[in-house]
């Protein structure tokens, strides 16, 4: 059958006339397919899903009740546009009380987002002209870079490795990219490495941004999920508000992934530019959802409970992976444990299997052991295990982790 004329109308940024014709299968689709195949081959065996990137639990009951009450109010029914004062004020209070960032003006320095992903998709429109460079980290969450490409921008990837403590070496950016760079995108605690930043690193970021006239976008989607101490906000760094904004989200910190609500805060001019593009992109998140999110930002003890659960699970996971030979170290936050992938595995029958990539390890784990992980080969082969696996209580968590240990126990991994 010949192509419809529609085939010739797609924009080059999504493949032009070849749109939809590629046979390449992307990583997350491969994982899904492998999971389906493993389940079909072993219908009676539980898949241990440590590949999930979102909370295993619902939002807390009081938050659902808050949403219910707010959804009944006629005043909340219409377009929210860039939001009313409720979430903005709660965000400013949250930054002050929880993140140690006083003095954020809720009227001019905060606007809600329909999740951080939406904010990362909107901000490039405000900043990127054709030929502009964005400095990003790899492995990482790619959304800002994808949209920067859509506007004709270019991405320079800074590798995150064990050797650099998963903090990018900004001074290693080649001068050709640096001269045309406009934006530096960071994310700590980091997906997928689980690494945390430090005040000293953020101070270097501010200095680097000022020296090279860069905007800093700090994606703080996991900022509140820390296992000890207080969350570290980029905005707490002296000078940060002069160079950037920070993105917070209720998705992970309050188990509200599907609710789609967060906020962008920081530099007034950048927040205004975000708001101007946002106003031409969406009509705002439902006010009832924004108000329930505001309730959360005034109740950080919810996040502390969630983080305590992840911390407990992380302790168990580290133990199990270490016993299997992995070099696992508990991160200071997030729900991700990122470990170097093995080069080979020897099974009880003495058969030795070599792995060329982390993706090959991940496929083997799901096919042979029904253990789902996310592989990363971007800066050396690594596997991401997430502690958001399904388990209904601490006893169930222990059962899942014991089973994980049992399945890995008869394999000898080589690193």
Ligand X SMILES: Cc1ncc(COP(=O)(O)O)c(C=O)c1O
| Interface residues toward ligand X, by CB under 6 A | 53, 115-117, 141, 187, 191, 219, 221, 249, 251, 257, 262
Q: Which is nearer to ligand X, 328 or 374 (CB)?
A: 374
Beta bridge partners, 216, equal 184, 244
Closest distance to ligand X from the beta carbon of 187 (Å):
4
Helix (H) / strand (E) element for 385: namely strand 382-386
Q: Which residue has the tokens 């219910």?
A: 68
DSSP character string of 145-185? HHHHHHTT-EEEEEE--TTTTT---GGGS-HHHHHTEEEEE
Eight-state DSSP code of residue 220: -
Q: Which is nearer to ligand X, 286 or 355 (CB)?
A: 286
Q: Which is nearer to ligand X, 164 or 257 (CB)?
A: 257
> Which residues fall within 8 angstroms of residue 264, CB to CB, at 6 or more apart?
110, 111, 112, 113, 119, 123, 245, 246, 247, 271, 274
Q: Which is nearer to ligand X, 235 or 411 (CB)?
A: 235
Closest distance to ligand X from the beta carbon of 293 (Å):
11
Q: Which has the closest alpha carbon to 338: 135, 198, 147, 137?
A: 137
3-state class of 48 per DSSP?
Answer: strand
Closest distance to ligand X from the beta carbon of 288 (Å):
18
End-to-end CA distance of the chain: 50
Q: Which is nearer to ligand X, 225 or 401 (CB)?
A: 225
CA distance 376 to 361: 10
Closest distance to ligand X from the beta carbon of 235 (Å):
17
When CB distances to ligand X are compared, the closest residue is 115
Closest distance to ligand X from the beta carbon of 17 (Å):
31
Q: Which is nearer to ligand X, 76 or 137 (CB)?
A: 137
Closest distance to ligand X from the beta carbon of 81 (Å):
19
Closest distance to ligand X from the beta carbon of 252 (Å):
7
Closest distance to ligand X from the beta carbon of 193 (Å):
11
- Token reading at 160: 């995150």
Enumerate the H helices of 213-351 as residue ranges: 240-243, 250-253, 268-279, 287-297, 301-323
**For residue 35, how many other CB atoms are within 10 A of its CB?**
17
Closest distance to ligand X from the beta carbon of 262 (Å):
5
Half-sphere exposure (Cβ direction) of 217: Cα atoms closer than 13 Å: 31
Q: Which is nearer to ligand X, 133 or 188 (CB)?
A: 188
Q: Which is nearer to ligand X, 143 or 270 (CB)?
A: 143
Closest distance to ligand X from the beta carbon of 258 (Å):
9
Phi/psi-derived region of residue 294, left when phi > 0, alpha when psi is between -120 and 50, beta in every other case: alpha
Q: Which has the closest alpha carbon to 258: 228, 289, 231?
A: 289
Q: Which is nearer to ligand X, 88 or 260 (CB)?
A: 260
Half-sphere exposure (Cβ direction) of 135: Cα atoms closer than 13 Å: 32
Q: Which is nearer to ligand X, 7 or 257 (CB)?
A: 257
CA distance 400 to 178: 47
Beta bridge partners, 375, equal 383
């Amino acid at each position: 059958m010949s192509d419809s004329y529609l085939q010739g109308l797609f924009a080059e940024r999504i493949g032009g006339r070849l749109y939809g014709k590629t046979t390449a299968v992307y990583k997350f689709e491969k994982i899904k397919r492998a999971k389906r195949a493993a389940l079909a081959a072993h219908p009676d065996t539980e898949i241990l899903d440590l590949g999930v990137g979102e909370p295993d639990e619902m939002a807390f009951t009081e938050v659902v009740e808050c949403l219910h009450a707010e959804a009944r109010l006629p005043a909340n029914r219409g377009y929210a546009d860039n939001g009313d004062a409720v979430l903005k004020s709660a965000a400013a209070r949250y930054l002050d009380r929880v993140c140690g960032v006083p003095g954020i003006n809720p009227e001019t320095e905060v606007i809600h987002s329909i999740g951080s992903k939406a904010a990362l998709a909107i901000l490039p429109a405000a900043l990127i002209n054709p030929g502009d460079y964005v400095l990003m980290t790899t492995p990482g969450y790619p959304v800002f870079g994808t949209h920067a490409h859509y506007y004709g921008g270019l991405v320079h990837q800074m590798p995150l490795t064990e050797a650099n403590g998963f903090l990018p070496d900004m001074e290693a950016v080649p001068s050709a990219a640096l001269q045309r760079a406009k934006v530096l995108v960071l994310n700590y605690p980091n997906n997928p490495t689980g690494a945390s930043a430090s005040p000293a690193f953020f101070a270097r970021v501010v200095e680097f941004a000022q020296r090279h006239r860069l905007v800093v976008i700090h994606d703080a989607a996991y900022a509140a999920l820390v296992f000890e101490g207080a969350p570290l906000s980029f905005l707490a760094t002296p000078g940060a508000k002069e160079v950037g904004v920070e993105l917070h989200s209720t998705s992970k910190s309050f188990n509200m992934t599907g609710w789609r609500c967060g906020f962008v805060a920081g530099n007034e001019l950048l927040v205004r530019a975000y708001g101007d593009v946002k106003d031409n992109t969406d009509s705002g998140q439902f006010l009832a959802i924004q108000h329930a999110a505001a309730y959360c930002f005034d109740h950080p003890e919810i996040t502390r409970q969630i983080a305590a659960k992840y911390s407990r699970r992380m302790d168990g996971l580290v133990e199990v992976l270490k016993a299997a030979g992995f070099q696992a170290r508990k991160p200071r936050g997030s729900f991700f444990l990122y470990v170097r992938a093995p080069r080979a595995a020897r099974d009880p029958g003495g058969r030795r299997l070599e792995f060329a990539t982390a993706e090959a390890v991940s496929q083997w784990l799901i096919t042979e052991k029904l253990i789902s992980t996310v592989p990363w080969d971007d800066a050396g082969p690594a596997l991401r295990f997430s502690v958001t696996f399904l388990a209904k209580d601490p006893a169930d968590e222990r059962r899942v982790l014991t089973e994980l240990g049992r399945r890995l126990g008869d394999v000898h991994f080589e690193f």
